[in-house]
Structure 1
């Protein structure tokens, strides 16, 4: 084998290319970078055409970048509920970044430090160390791509296929595969034709390939190689020709990929990181406020969407994680969160290319988004929790739902709810005077927080006030607070609906009217904390009322309040869900459950607005275990909890779905938990969940198999059992 032996610890970057090839390559580099820069300019100039975002997305930018780099580099979101996907993406990302850094070092050395100062990095110990890392991480890169190919084409993972799956997905994955494998082939041929220097053993993948080439007898050129050697002149089958072909194939593929990045799926490598940097930590749990200007539009056109919402569209990688956890999609409702985001993106790109304008949202098939699609959303935030690139689905969804409401394109059942709230202040349409009637069956009087100072101002909510089943929960909670000897009171007929769910259906101005009424009423009361029965109320009081600029609406004659400030802007007034407040009472000893032993096997359902919205998972569980019950968790629990179907107006809408989310959840409790057949009680901590699951128990045929109870009912039973035990002990 006649080759040019290489003894120095390093490598020749342009081995066998020649001066003509060198010049041609850099002409192509300039063209590639120009195409890349133009594409990037187009992308970012499009964001400037989007509407202003209501939230500050760039405050504390250094810390945002650091925290985002941690999220992205650790791949923590990719590992969420998907170990295979997390490993796959980690291998690809870490390998790609390592190879990119190596290429950058070579470029900086070639045209920076070496040219200007004669400083060379890519030799000696540095070369040996980094070359080993490049091979190791490059191998992980190829393995990761192989895992992706296996999942996409062999397993055909259902998440990866949909109406937006296209050729760009195939081109993207196969281009990456070609870059990884092609790079190792190029390295192998380089090592082989340079005499397999001993130091190149650190390039263990390339060295192994070189040994393979030798074993199968790949011939080399008879002529000694020189810096001006050109394989073009030798078209015979030999290692030098294969090296030349590999060099150009790898280079052209890399240049194509770089130029293609701003125009297709590879752009997510940039947009995803930008999306994580500009994320809102409270996204979903607080929605953007609507300007008081009645001429303001929500989603009449694609340009009504903010620059961040457009960035969300570009950041979507089509991974389908949002779709796979969406309870609406699981119930065959016409909502697929991924498709909504990508439908908006596709329409925007068609318009930018001169396409025809269409209504943004309407009935029938002529609009970008169908009204039934948005009516299907339960506002459970599962899609946002699952998204690895922090897409804020609910921001765009709410914009579309507000447009539906403006147009009057809402379900008749929801129109009835709006009418009930406007006329009577509650979703039932019942008289405000009856709001406190649930307390009549108690053996004690519930204080009026408008007339006396209390520690806890208890917001009871619509369902515990008017729904017969949930009235039992309200009485249970009142009994608990009385037993703990805490000072509490309610607003009686001055309490109205909190507005959370009608806001998520798009009725913003009615929500503001309700918020104004409540904060104005609270100003006339003396209390320390607000305690809510319903997680929906808890979320909106804690996260959304403080965001409302009531002064904007001060001059609006349609708003029946005079409040002109931000309420609780600095968080001085603490807002609790009742489980948090009672769990605190148990901890301090104000409520003694130490001797209780309820002999039940139960499972617990995390309400979306308490769990995913506000990260409260432990207080309800602490109370359940304090009663002595054995808690058997469902497979989908905590942040992976499956929605009951009642959020986002779902409680008031009729869907032809099979099975209902509530039925599926009860089935999970009975069949998928460890002690499924022994589970006696399905425990909830939300009045809406109580209503949905009582309905699901009947329609699903589970009435004789399981009982739906609220945690408050368990606690009251435990208190009663403890008192009975004390009486018996005294009698003995």
Structure 2
């Protein structure tokens, strides 16, 4: 009779928990379905490979090796003990039940016990990192939910060992310290309580375990633990192709009345999966240059706020309550959304939260440098930058709302095709500053191998002109046939696109591609990583068919081929800075370092944040042309990181980075002691 009552109680509790779990998960599915449909690129092999590497291989988590190892134990431990959970459930109804593994069962028991113990250790270590070590990225207002996770997992693991220990007493068995070491210790400690007490305590902890499992199951989909359900799908369905490539807007679609994202449902369904896949681990925020210098932007908070907003709005629009204890759900707001869906006229008299302004502030959107440090760190492949740019697109192209610096930038690009509004006919004058270089235009030569895209910085900025001149000199010495467009060169449109003006970007892209085709351009080389990334990864969608190179790639190739040989000693201790658009966007880290190492006398110094983890200089995403009004300047912070190495030179591969770092040395009043040089300038010194 007791077994029957126990079975009925178990079925009742489990049935209700499964109902709640299914209800909440299905609600999240409906909320995600509110987003726009997007055609899925059919690259199954690449998608499965991403799942294997990032989900089952836990690659991103090992950027922090301590957390990575801890999470690896939790991830696989949780999977392994689920097999044992089935056996434990049956033990509650069949006394002494074991899986029919024969003699091999003892090894199964050993695996389960050690897995459970290691999981307990991992949970305790995770608690230590958050509450004792107080790891900065883990400190948030959501510590209550985090505490519940630690308590639940601790209870989950301890109750397994306690239940198994008291089962040994219930059955009158001798403790097995070889194959059941931890439950065996528990059995020895309580060996004097007798069989009856052992039986009672077995069922007590059996029920503690069952209730914890079921409660945690209901908790998971409505908390940050939802990543356990959504992360795999998020990684599988993420965009394939070049990282950071932005979605194209079809301006020929006459049915579209608004551009960009002004409402949460304007995001694609894949973008909305991101919101529920978020782990809230803070890795993105920990590496964000905006957050680190006191700006309001926090990539993690951005995702979490949008997730809560989607949950609130989705619950009303789909008439699916996310269930009463949902931490993200706020009844008053949901009622407002429901009213909005049912009666727009009446709802107009009630203030409802807007995605931009109420949920996400404009200050947050304009603080982003689009460096992708957040995305590179994210263990579940969340893409923060494209969401920010989509909302910028709405502000600029739908509302016409933008900072005055952005307005001036766009006007200058439209009128003179450069950010300063300087006369476009002066674009070619940089080549006249040195009489020892030959820089022909495409109309001045019969043939050329490379089109040298100088870019607005190399053409108009006095400091960046020196980079263009040095690279031209290197190509002259190597006998490379190249030409420039001269005054016919326009802006690449990269910054316009990142700032949210997709229309201007597409206009520039079409004009540039037409120009390339008219000049029969097959290879393009540029000193600008931003133009390099745009030409290589985004222009092909608009019709560009050409090989694209960064100037460091060409310099490295010339050294390898022996067409240039750095012989002259350059005694410099160089703190090397990785630019975001060459590094994180295109994975080029080794080539610049190999070039520097090929120069006699050069000592390459690595900053604490380097390669994939390198901090942005602060110029990306249009920030080069805008004032920082909050916190510390990003370029000053990055410069200070370089100066800690006591270098004689700060080296880079990007005219934007060089300008920002140069301004940083001036702000720190060390510009006389510490030079800022591009790799091309350093190489030229070794050749002359």
User: What TM-score do the two structures reach when normalised by structure 2?
Assistant: 0.90
Q: How far apart in 2 are the matches of 1:306 and 1:166? A: 30
| Alignment partner, residue 346 of structure 2 | none
Cα deviation per residue 1:563-610 (whole Å; 9 max; x = unaligned)?
Answer: xxx333xxxx211000001111110112222x3321211111000000
Q: Give the drift of 1:403.
A: 1.2
- How far apart are residue 289 of structure 1 and its match? 0.8
- 1:146-186 per-residue CA deviation (whole Å, 9 max, x = no partner) reads 011111222222212224x1532222221111101111111
CA contact (8 A) 1:109 1:121 kept: no
Q: Encode CA deviations 1:221-263: one digit per residue, 9 max, x unaligned.
A: 3xxxxxxxxxxxxxxxx22221121111111111222233323
CA contact (8 A) 1:371 1:409 kept: no
Evaluate the alpha carbon distance shift between residue 351 and residue 665 of structure 1 in structure 2; reply closer, same or farther with a 3 A threshold: same
1:713 corresponds, among 678, 681, 684, to 681
Asked if the contact 1:503/1:511 (under 8 Å) is kept, the reply is yes
SS of 1:613's equivalent in the other structure is coil
- Residue 413 of structure 2 contacts residue 421 of structure 2 at CA under 8 Å; is this kept in 1? yes
- Does residue 73 in structure 1 map to residue 56 in structure 2? yes
Rg: which structure is higher? 1
**Separation (CA, whole Å) in 2 of partners of 1:619 and 1:648:** 25
Task: Report the CA distance shift for 1:109/1:489 in structure 2 as closer, same or farther (over 3 A).
Answer: farther
**1:9 alignment counterpart:** none
Aligned to 2:440: 447
Cα offset, 1:121, TM superposition: 4.3
Any idea what SS the aligned residue of 1:602 has? strand
Partner of 1:649, secondary structure, is: helix
1:368 is the counterpart of 2:359 = yes
- Distance in 2 separating the partners of 1:306 and 1:450: 45
Q: CA deviation at 1:136?
A: 1.2
Residue of structure 1 equivalent to 2:80: 98
The 3-state SS of whatever aligns with 1:497 is: coil
Aligned residue in 2 for 1:703: 671
For residues 36 and 92 of structure 2, the distance between their equivalents in structure 1, rounded to whole angstroms, comes to: 44
The yes-or-no answer on 1:359 pairing with 2:321 is: no
Tell me, in whole angstroms, the C-alpha distance in 2 between the residues paired with 1:284 and 1:393: 12
Which of 392, 401, 404 is 1:412 aligned to?
404
- State how far apart, in whole Å, the 2-side matches of 1:192 and 1:109 are: 14
2:28 and 2:311 in contact (8 A); partners too: no
Query: Kindly tell me: are residues 528 and 26 of structure 1, through their superposed partners in 2, closer, same or farther at Cα, counting changes over 3 Å?
Result: same
Matched, 1:467 2:452: no
Q: Which residue in the other structure is 2:32 paired with?
A: 47
Alignment partner of 1:538 out of 521, 532, 539: 532
Partner of 1:126: 104
Partner-residue secondary structure (3-state), 2:451: strand
Summarize deviations over 1:12-46 as a string: whole Å, max 9, x none: xxxx9612112221232232222222222222122
Match of 1:579 in 2: 552
Match of 1:150 among 124, 128, 134: 128
Matched residue of 1:218: which SS? helix
What does 1:230-241 align with in structure 2 at a 5 Å threshold? 238-241=197-200
Instruction: Select which of 302, 307, 315 maps to 1:340.
Output: 302
Q: What's the counterpart of residue 220 of structure 1? A: 195
Query: Which among 413, 417, 421 is matched to residue 413 of structure 2?
Result: 421
Q: Give SS of 2:68's match.
A: helix
2:200 and 2:641 map into 1 onto residues whose CA distance is 62
What is the rounded CA distance, in whole Å, between the counterparts of 1:467 and 1:62 in structure 2? 45
1:233 aligned residue: none
Name the CA shift for 1:284/1:17 in 2 (closer, same or farther; >3 Å): farther
| 2:577/2:652 contact within 8 Å kept | yes
1: CA distance, partners of 2:354 / 2:363? 15
In structure 2, the CA distance between the partners of 1:705 and 1:667, relative to structure 1 (3 Å rule), is farther
2:227 corresponds, among 261, 268, 273, to 268
Unaligned runs of 5+ in 2: 317-332, 337-351
* Deviation at residue 661 of structure 1 after TM alignment: 1.9
2:389 is the alignment partner of 1:398: yes
Shift in CA distance, 17/617, structure 1 to aligned 2, threshold 3 Å: farther
Equivalent pairs, count = 646
Residues 106, 69 of structure 1: alpha-carbon distance in 2 compared, 3 angstrom cutoff: farther
Q: Is the 8 A contact 1:596 1:626 kept in 2?
A: no
The alignment yields a C-alpha RMSD, in angstroms, of 2.3
Q: Aligned partners of 2:59, 2:271: CA distance in 1, in Å?
A: 23
Which position in structure 2 is the counterpart of 1:643? 616
Matching residue of 1:190: 167
Structure-1 residue corresponding to 2:372: 381
CA distance in 1, matches of 2:479, 2:118: 62
Q: CA 1:108–1:380 in 2, change beyond 3 Å: closer, same or farther?
A: farther
Q: Secondary structure of the equivalent of 1:369? A: coil
How far is 1:90 from its partner? 1.3
In structure 2, distance between residues paired with 1:414 and 1:370 = 17
Counterparts in 2 of 1:149 and 1:423: CA distance versus 1, 3 Å: same
How far 1:62 moved relative to its partner? 6.1
> Do 2:258 and 2:394's aligned partners in 1 also have CA atoms closer than 8 Å?
no
SS of structure 1 residue aligned to 2:457: helix
Q: Secondary structure at the match of 2:107?
A: helix
1:386-407 superposed Cα distances (whole Å, 9 cap, x missing partner): 1111101112111111112121
1-side partners of 2:118 and 2:140: how far apart?
Answer: 28
For residues 443 and 393 of structure 2, what CA distance do their matches in structure 1 show? 34
Answer whether contact 1:361 1:403 (CA < 8 A) is retained. Answer: no
User: Residue 158 of structure 2 corresponds to which residue in structure 1?
Assistant: 181
**Is structure 2 residue 282 aligned with structure 1 residue 320?**
yes
Provide the rounded CA distance (Å) in 2 between the counterparts of 1:631 and 1:508.
39
Is the CA contact 1:438–1:465 (under 8 Å) kept in the aligned structure 2? yes
Q: Where do 1:191-206 residues align within 5 Å? A: 191-197=168-174, 201-206=178-183
Q: In 2, distance between residues paired with 1:547 and 1:210? A: 67
Shift of 1:63: 5.6
TM-score of the aligned structures, taking structure 1 as reference length: 0.85
Summarize deviations over 1:318-347 as a string: whole Å, max 9, x none: 110000000011111111111111111111
Q: Shift of residue 133 of structure 1? A: 0.8
CA distance in 2, matches of 1:315, 1:196: 45
Secondary structure class of the residue paired with 2:609:
coil
Could you tell me which runs of 5 or more consecutive residues in structure 1 were left unpaired when the two chains were aligned. Answer: 1-15, 222-237, 549-565, 721-732
The CA distance in 1 between the partners of 2:310 and 2:526, in whole Å, is 42
Quote the offset at 1:373 in angstroms: 1.0
**Alpha-carbon distance in structure 1 between the residues aligned to 2:438 and 2:178:** 85
